[in-house]
Amino acid sequence: MDIQEWEQLHTDAFYDVKRALPYLEGMFVAYNSNIDAIKHLTKEDLSRFIGFFNEAEIQARVETYPREVKEPLDFMARLLISMREGKAAEIPTYTSDTHVWLKEHLGFDYARMGGQAGIISNLLTQIGLKKVVAYIPWLSEEQADYFVDSDNLLHPKVEDGKVVLKPPRQAFKPGLESKVNWIFEYSKELEITCGGNKFKVPRDNRLIISSRPKWIRLDMDREIYEHLDSLFPIDGAMLSGYQMIKERYEDGTTYKDYVSHSVNAIEKLKALNPELRIHVELTSIQNRVIRKAILTEIVAKNVHSLGLDTVEVANALNVLGHEELSYSVIRKEETGITSLYQGAVQLLKDLSLERVHVHCLGFYICVLSKDHPLTLKEHRDALLFSSTLASTKALKGKIENLEDVAAGLEVPVSSKGIEDLENFKVYCVGKKLCTPEDFEHGYLYGPDHDAVLVPTKVVDKPTVTVGIGDTISAGAFAAMLAKMKQTQVEE
Ligand code: GLC
C-alpha cells in the first residue's frame, strides 16, 4: 500500500474508533504518577554542563555505564550515552542531592503531569472515556493538581471505612510530599564534543532521572484492595510503575512482598470481571532482578497485553535468557525489524500473553495470540488510531479532546516507516507468514500467533517526546477494548 492509502486508513480508523469508544464502561489506571520537570537541552546548555566536569572523567564514567545516579557525574555519563544512541532511558536516583544539584546548575523549562499512569489517565479522560479510575498510592495535594479536572476522571478515597470515587483533587492524601522526575529532552542533529569524541544526536529523545524517595511503595491501600468492587464497572486496567519496586527496603520488606501484592490486585480485578483485559506498560528497568521478577511473576500468565519500545524488548529478552536475540534487536542493522518481530513473538510465548504491542519510530508491531477475539483489521484500526493520537501529542504537546486530534490526522505517515516495513516483506513472504497481498494490509499469520504491522505518522520536529509511548499504548489498548465491547453489543 502506498502512503496515500495508509493516510486514508488512518482517517477511517480514527472515525471508526471514535464511534466505538462510547461502548466502554470504564478503565482502571494505576500506579505511578509524578511531576515531570522538563528541560529541553540546547547546545549552550550542553557545553555549559560539560564544563562542570573534567571531560576525561566523564569518558571514564561513560565506560562504567552507571545504572543509578549517585552523583552528578553519573547523570552526565548517562546523558551522553542516551544522546549518542538517541535512545530513551530512565535512571533512578535515591537521594535528593541530585535534585538540588540539577536545580542549582540547570533548572527546568516547565513542569507537567508525569508517570505512565498519570499520563494515561489524563489522556483517556480527555479522549472522552465514560469513566477513568486512576489510582496513585502516593497522591499528594500538589500532584492531584496535575490531573485534568473532569467528571469522568475519578480516584478512590477511603471515607468512613467505605471506598468512594472522587475527583483526584478531593482524593489526595494530606501531608504527602511529591515525586519529581527530571526529563532531559534533546533534538536530533545536536552536535556534541566531549573528551575528544564528537557525535551527532541521531533522533529526538529523552533521558529521565527518576526520583525514588524512600517512602514510595508500589502497593495498594488495604481498604481499597478490600473494596475493589467499588471501582466497577470497568472493562480494562492499564498498570504501570512496577519499575519503582526495590529489592530491599529499610523496614525489612523485599520486592517479593510488593510483587505478590501486585499479583493479588490483578487477580482480584479479574475475579470481579472475568472479561476484564489487563495491559502493563513497561519502561526502562535498570535493576535486572526486578526486571525479571516483573516479567516472570507479574506479567507472565496474569496480564493480557504488554506495551513497550525497542530497547525495552531487548532488555526484556535479555533477562528472559535470549541474549543473542536481545543483541540483534539492539544492534538494529538490516535485520533489525526481523529480530524485533521475533523478539515480540518470543515475549508473547514466554509470558503467555494475548497481545504484545511494540512501538518504534515510524511503525508498530503488534503480535497477537491466535485466540484473540478481534479481527486483524480491528487490531489494525486500534493501532492506527493510536498513531494519530501520538502524532497529535508530538505536534501540540498535549491533547485536550478528540477534536484536537484532527491536527494529528494532518501529520504525514512516515516514509521511512513504510520503507522499513517493506524491507521485512521478503522475510515474511519467504517464511510463509503471509502472501505479498496480506503484507500490504499489514497482516501476518504465524503458526502460533498472528501479527499486525503498520507504518505510523511521525512529526518531524516534535514538541515533546516524553509520554508518546504511553499515548500510543493507551490509545491502542482503549481502542481495542472499545471494538471488543462494540462487537459484543452488536452481536
Ligand atoms: C516514566 C517516568 C516519568 C515519565 C513517564 C513517561 O513513568 O518515570 O517521569 O513521565 O515515564 O512515559
**Each residue's pLDDT tens digit, 249-270:** 999 999 999 999 999 999 999 9
State what percent of residues in the chain have pLDDT above 70.
99
Look at the alpha carbons of 15, 417, 320, 119 in this order and tell me if their dihedral is positive or negative. negative
**Each residue's pLDDT tens digit, 306-359:** 999 999 999 999 999 999 999 999 886 656 899 999 999 999 999 999 999 999
User: Is residue 84 domain-resident?
Assistant: yes
Do 474 and 327 fall into the same domain? yes
DSSP β-bridge partners for residue 114:
34
Query: In the prediction, which pLDDT does 334 show?
Result: 58
Do 193 and 240 fall into the same domain? no
Is pTM beyond 0.85? Reply is yes
Do 23 and 93 fall into the same domain? no
Specify the 3-state DSSP secondary structure of 206.
Answer: strand
**Each residue's pLDDT tens digit, 8-59:** 999 999 999 999 999 999 999 999 999 999 999 999 999 999 999 999 999 9
pLDDT above 70 for 69? yes
**Pocket lining: 168 vs ligand 1, CB cutoff 6 Å:** no
- The residue range of the domain holding 192 is 37-113+177-211
Distance set, CA 129 to CA 139, 156, 235, 305, 486 (Å) = 22, 17, 11, 20, 14
**Each residue's pLDDT tens digit, 380-429:** 999 999 999 999 999 999 999 999 998 999 999 999 999 999 999 999 99
Q: Is 429 exposed, middle or buried (0-12, 13-18, 19+ CB in 10 A)?
A: middle
Cα 38 to ligand 1 centroid, rounded to whole Å = 11
pLDDT above 80 for 110? yes
CA distance 133 to 124: 10
**Pocket lining: 205 vs ligand 1, CB cutoff 6 Å:** no
Among 53, 283, 286, 79, residue whose Cα is nearest residue 183: 79
CATH of the domain at 89: 3.30.1110.20
Q: Which residue has the CA at smallest separation from atom 5 of ligand 1?
A: 115
CATH of the domain at 319: 3.40.1190.20
pLDDT above 80 for 113? yes
CA distance 155 to 248: 29
Q: Which residue has the CA at smallest separation from atom 6 of ligand 1?
A: 467
Do 86 and 231 fall into the same domain? no
**Pocket lining: 312 vs ligand 1, CB cutoff 6 Å:** no
Atom number of ligand 1 nearest to Cα 118? 10
Specify the 3-state DSSP secondary structure of 379.
Answer: helix
Cα 182 to ligand 1 centroid, rounded to whole Å = 9
Do 226 and 207 fall into the same domain? no
**Pocket lining: 181 vs ligand 1, CB cutoff 6 Å:** yes
Neighbours of 214 (CB within 10 A): 11
Q: In 115-268, where do the E strands start and end? A: 132-135, 153-159, 162-166, 180-186, 191-194, 197-200, 205-211, 236-240
Q: Which residue has the CA at smallest separation from atom 7 of ligand 1?
A: 115
Specify the 3-state DSSP secondary structure of 416.
Answer: helix
Atom number of ligand 1 nearest to Cα 32? 7
Q: Which residue has the CA at smallest separation from atom 11 of ligand 1?
A: 115
Mean of pLDDT values over 81-109: 92
The set of residues, in sequence order, having a beta carbon less than 8 Å from that of 491 and lying 6+ positions away, is: none
Atom number of ligand 1 nearest to Cα 470? 12
Query: In the prediction, which pLDDT does 333 show?
Result: 61
User: Is residue 166 domain-resident?
Assistant: no
Cα 115 to ligand 1 centroid, rounded to whole Å = 4
7 pLDDT band, cuts 50/70/90, is very high
Among 235, 307, 329, 305, residue whose Cα is nearest residue 275: 235
Do 319 and 284 fall into the same domain? yes
The set of residues, in sequence order, having a beta carbon less than 8 Å from that of 64 and lying 6+ positions away, is: 77
User: Is residue 408 domain-resident?
Assistant: yes
Give the mean pLDDT of the chain.
95
pLDDT above 90 for 65? yes
pLDDT above 70 for 157? yes
**Pocket lining: 122 vs ligand 1, CB cutoff 6 Å:** no
Amino acid at 230: S
Do 193 and 293 fall into the same domain? no
User: Is residue 227 domain-resident?
Assistant: yes
Q: Which residue has the CA at smallest separation from atom 1 of ligand 1?
A: 115
Mean of pLDDT values over 89-109: 91
Do 72 and 50 fall into the same domain? yes
DSSP per-residue letters across 80-110: HHHHHHT--EEEEE-SSHHHHHHHHHT--SE
User: Is residue 300 domain-resident?
Assistant: yes
Residue 74 vs residue 286, higher pLDDT: 74
Phi, then psi, of 180 in degrees rounded to 5: -115, 125
Do 384 and 456 fall into the same domain? yes
User: Is residue 413 domain-resident?
Assistant: yes
Do 223 and 79 fall into the same domain? no
Cα 438 to ligand 1 centroid, rounded to whole Å = 36
CA distance 128 to 41: 34
Cα 116 to ligand 1 centroid, rounded to whole Å = 5
Do 359 and 277 fall into the same domain? yes
User: Is residue 163 domain-resident?
Assistant: no
Do 193 and 236 fall into the same domain? no
Q: Which residues participate in catalysis according to the annotation?
A: 470
Cα 414 to ligand 1 centroid, rounded to whole Å = 25
- Go through 440-461 and write b for each residue having 16 or more CB atoms within 10 A of its CB, e for each that does not: ebbbbebeebbbbbbbbbbbee
Pocket test for ligand 1, best of 208, 210, 240, 465 (most atoms within 8 A of CB): 208
When divided into structural domains, the chain yields a total of 2
User: Is residue 381 domain-resident?
Assistant: yes
CA distance 381 to 25: 20
